[in-house]
Amino acid sequence: MSIIRIHPVNAAGGESGEGTSPSESLAGAPLRDPQWYHRPGTLRLPAPPPLSVYVHLPWCLKKCPYCDFNSHEFHTAGATPKDLPEQRYLDAVRADLERSLPLVWGRTVHTIFIGGGTPSLFSPQAIDRLLGDMRARLKLAPDCEITLEANPGTFERNRFRAYRSAGVTRLSVGVQSFNDEHLKALGRVHDRAQAIAALEEAASTFDTFNLDLMYALPGQTLEGLDADLSQALALAPPHISVYHLTIEPNTWFAKFPPALPEDDIAYAMLDRITERTSASGMSRYEVSAYAREGHRCAHNLNYWQFGDYLGIGAGAHSKLSFAHRIVRQVRFREPRLYMENARAGAAVSQSDEVALADLPFEFMLNALRLKQGFTLPQFSERTGLAMTSIQRGLEEAERKGLVARDLFRVWPTERGLDFLSDLQSMFLPDEE
């Protein structure tokens, strides 16, 4: 079995490869008549699950060498955030949303996640317009969680307050490390002091926020990780996401791999993270996420519980359920191509109905990341399948000590979370 290297969810905007993906033809996906989604089919879903919306803002000041998300430097020499085509991009996102409305008609939106890229490059006025456009077209739940991803390198005093006034309820701050040498090796545009200043401002402005850290960094020791944890916990964040640095294909690090800590050190680091977050009152509710009571991320929880999401913006992914089918969509990745196509009413580059045979794996890929796992009724409600479709995988996983279950619930054991990729792969469909 292999050590876990779970990629952050980044709200469905990511996935490997820079620029245009091979499937990104200029023609895009065939335009479907909205009626098509409601036609009879083999699947039977009693009701659609909760709906979230993800918005992807694809630009960064500088591409980090480890990053395979759909993020792009804006290249013009001497360009500043003021040169971002904010309004043109938001026009495209609005057109994209309008075109998508028939697929989510009448449904309440429970969470919104504005991810990237670096959404905090966008001005508060632009975020205000974006949320205004969404409020005018979607039915938002009164307690709708609205998260915005922020990079400490784009932090200015008062900016976070202005995001809050625009309606953002939760900030997710990408810190990665508090060690200036590690930050440099990771190609980050901020230093330790900026990270601390941004987090202090987030804490004083928002009722809840997240701090992203990475571990098993080039040259990092267990003591180094301890120092990062001490600094992170001293800021009393309500939520921390901690990711094992992964070397993704098509990144700078894949071409020029840095020396990384051995696997047994990485294991010890993960144990230390779980121990120390727990000692400071946080619990590990997902493989990479730790929260105080009442501060779990509702948006990510909806992904992990196989809820629905409409993803708009460059490269965003959607998963939408209808009475007789579950559909996945991907938008054009490359920002310019996305803007052109979205404004012409054709933002979607790929659209596929999920095959019945793939549903058990798709469900388990998400639900097994959660410490609480899933309930048996949840599995049937969200996939339309009987529990027998995962019986064989469950028996094998139980025999290997990777899951436990009772009459109502199935959950991964500690060992299951440590070997999550192996556990998930037990639910892959049989080869034809």
Structure tokens at 244: 């094992």
- Smallest separation, CB 242 to ligand SAM (Å): 8
- Smallest separation, CB 312 to ligand SAM (Å): 17
What is the three-class DSSP state of 213? strand
- Smallest separation, CB 1 to ligand SF4 (Å): 29
Of residues 165-204, those binding ligand SAM (CB under 6 A) = 174, 176
Query: Does residue number 290 form part of the binding site for ligand SAM (CB under 6 A)?
Result: no
Per partner kind, with CB cut-offs from 5 to 8 A, the member of ligand SAM, ligand SF4, none near residue 290 is none
Give the dihedral of Cα atoms 226, 231, 232, 233; nearest 10 deg. Answer: 90
Query: Does residue number 116 form part of the binding site for ligand SAM (CB under 6 A)?
Result: yes
Query: Does residue number 266 form part of the binding site for ligand SAM (CB under 6 A)?
Result: no
Q: Which is nearer to ligand SF4, 331 or 382 (CB)?
A: 331
- Smallest separation, CB 236 to ligand SF4 (Å): 24
Per partner kind, with CB cut-offs from 5 to 8 A, the member of ligand SAM, ligand SF4, none near residue 63 is ligand SF4
Can you spell out the DSSP letters for 316-372? -EEEEEETTEEEEEEE-SSHHHHHHHHHTT--EEEEEEPPGGGHHHHHHHHHTTBTT
Angle CA 10–12–15, to nearest 5: 85
Query: CB nearest ligand SAM: which residue?
Result: 174
Q: Which is nearer to ligand SF4, 174 or 261 (CB)?
A: 174
Per partner kind, with CB cut-offs from 5 to 8 A, the member of ligand SAM, ligand SF4, none near residue 371 is none
Per partner kind, with CB cut-offs from 5 to 8 A, the member of ligand SAM, ligand SF4, none near residue 383 is none
Near ligand SAM by CB under 6 A: residue from 24, 86, 96, 149: 149
Per partner kind, with CB cut-offs from 5 to 8 A, the member of ligand SAM, ligand SF4, none near residue 8 is ligand SAM
- Smallest separation, CB 9 to ligand SAM (Å): 9
Exposed e or buried b for every residue in 139-176, given b needs 16+ CB within 10 A? Answer: ebeeebbbbbbbbbbbbeeebbebbbebbbbbbbbbbb
- Site mask, ligand SAM, residues 39-78, x = CB under 6 A? ---------------------------xx-x---------
Q: Which is nearer to ligand SF4, 67 or 242 (CB)?
A: 67
Query: Does residue number 412 form part of the binding site for ligand SF4 (CB under 6 A)?
Result: no
Structure tokens at 95: 């057109």
Q: Which is nearer to ligand SF4, 63 or 371 (CB)?
A: 63
> Residue 197 CA to chain centroid, in angstroms?
25
CA distance 173 to 205: 13
Q: Residue 221: CB partners within 8 Å, gap ≥ 6?
A: 261, 265
What is the side-by-side order of every strand in the sheet holding 139-150?
283-286, 289-291, 239-244, 208-215, 170-176, 139-150, 108-116, 51-57, 308-313, 317-322, 325-331, 348-353
CA distance 263 to 254: 18
**How many residues contact ligand SAM, by CB under 6 A?**
17
Structure tokens at 391: 């019986």
Exposed/middle/buried for 239, CB within 10 Å: 0-12, 13-18, 19+? buried
CA distance 337 to 331: 10
* Residue given tokens 């008062």 in the structure block: 158
Near ligand SF4 by CB under 6 A: residue from 100, 118, 251, 300: 118
* Interacting residue ranges for ligand SAM, rule: CB under 6 A: 8, 10, 66-67, 69, 116, 118, 149, 151, 174, 176, 212, 214, 243, 245-246, 248
For ligand SF4, the binding residues (CB under 6 A) are 60, 63-64, 67, 69, 71, 116-118, 151, 174
